[in-house]
Structure 1
């Protein structure tokens, strides 16, 4: 059955040329998840779509069709986010790459969409520090897509972490208290900094350090041999 959707909040994640005048877009929408849309004629010099279909800008998009590749019928720029530049732009590409790697098409993630929109807005403010902006999104993505357990509950007790205790993140299980025979490559965190991560408070440098170790572990665990170009660039630049 053909569907028609109007004025859906969305961001363009990726685009590729299609034939002479069109684009195929990977679009992250709030209610429908990632959608594949064809924007017919969007490459023409006087197309109303051409200046609108920019990455990292909030849009209201409309489409119709019944195949996996729907046809975009309208797109409007909603404004409110300055263009990303410099390292912030590179971080934006990193966010998009994460979404493509970890989310399935047409799988709704409304909370994750809101987190992405807020993160892009923060990056648009030309921030001096990037890690405190990226970390909440990374954790939200991993939790929302089922690749990470909650950090505010211990798997053994279902209790909140105790501030002075040390915990490990055990694959396939989640957070639990550190034991003497735990593998050395499992990330170790204190209850205090786990609580700060859950509260999205990264003002303490040690919270940032422990969260970086955790994120690298979780991403490496689930990406395995899949290369992430922007992530490696940011690591090389010591931005994440």
Structure 2
């Protein structure tokens, strides 16, 4: 069962985030990735960065779109950076960005998968709420995608890890109604924020998933075709609960290409 303390931590209010933002005056050489960037006025950018120690933060990169700017070309997604910023407002001013290298560029479906991970983080992470372990998981996922590894296990693993770090860890290895272990030969439905329940025990609702799939997900084993298909449907069902009514833009691209999410 989920730890209520983690759920409470994941539900920080907007007021708490704003208070945390105003306490930040300067941060130097902070490991970070760019999740999203968009133009601001004529020559600047607003950058949504995922940082190791400060969580997701908005940064104003003044003049970053000018041809001679030291920031031009550095603020790209999926590359490890060291960022230095300051200011007391919620929108901090970015002073410096240093490229750390070592991450192969994402290409093809791996690139779209990277955008999918970024969109998940932008939508589900509260600003100024640090998740150092999730930052590490994100870097690992990018490295695997950059190496051309099979993307489906990478996405499923990251989704589960992300939910755990946000306080919504999935129960996969036991029937939450009976308390018994998940049986590989049985069929279940997944009750969000609780866990699997034998399919015959409740009115049909939610996707049907085999016990084998649940146990494969627990072990991180996605070699079985049925496990890949059922885990994708199950994770979409669970994530939709937390994402609300707004669909992910990158999800449809991946569905159109490879049925990955």
Report if TM-score (shorter chain) is over 0.5.
yes
State how far apart, in whole Å, the 2-side matches of 1:93 and 1:25 are: 15
Which of these residues, 101, 110, 115, is aligned with residue 93 of structure 1?
A: 115
State how far apart, in whole Å, the 2-side matches of 1:46 and 1:152 are: 56
Can you give the 5+ residue segments of structure 2 that lack an aligned partner in the other structure?
Answer: 1-22
- Tell me which protein shows more helix as a share of its residues: 2
Cα offsets for 1:28-57 (capped at 9, x unmatched): 111211100111221121222112111010
- The residue number in structure 1 matching 2:75 is 53
Please state how far the C-alpha of 1:148 moved relative to its aligned partner: 5.1
| Structure 2 residue 182 is the aligned partner of structure 1 residue 161 | yes
Please state how far the C-alpha of 1:26 moved relative to its aligned partner: 0.3
Q: Which has the higher contact order (CA 8 A, sep 6+)?
A: 2
State how far apart, in whole Å, the 2-side matches of 1:110 and 1:205 are: 33
Question: Structure 1 length normalisation: TM-score?
Answer: 0.89
Can you give the 5+ residue segments of structure 1 that lack an aligned partner in the other structure?
Answer: none
| Structure 2 residue 91 is the aligned partner of structure 1 residue 69 | yes
* RMSD of aligned alpha carbons: 2.1
- The residue number in structure 1 matching 2:106 is 84
Q: Which range is displaced more, 215-224 or 156-165?
A: 156-165
Question: Structure 2 length normalisation: TM-score?
Answer: 0.83
Which secondary structure does the structure 1 equivalent of 2:109 belong to? helix
State how far apart, in whole Å, the 2-side matches of 1:64 and 1:95 are: 27
| Structure 2 residue 227 is the aligned partner of structure 1 residue 207 | yes
Number of residue pairs aligned between Structure 1 and Structure 2: 238
Which of these residues, 215, 233, 240, is aligned with residue 253 of structure 2?
A: 233
Which secondary structure does the structure 2 equivalent of 1:87 belong to? helix
- The residue number in structure 2 matching 1:30 is 52
Which secondary structure does the structure 1 equivalent of 2:200 belong to? coil
State how far apart, in whole Å, the 2-side matches of 1:9 and 1:43 are: 22
State how far apart, in whole Å, the 2-side matches of 1:220 and 1:4 are: 36
Please state how far the C-alpha of 1:160 moved relative to its aligned partner: 4.7
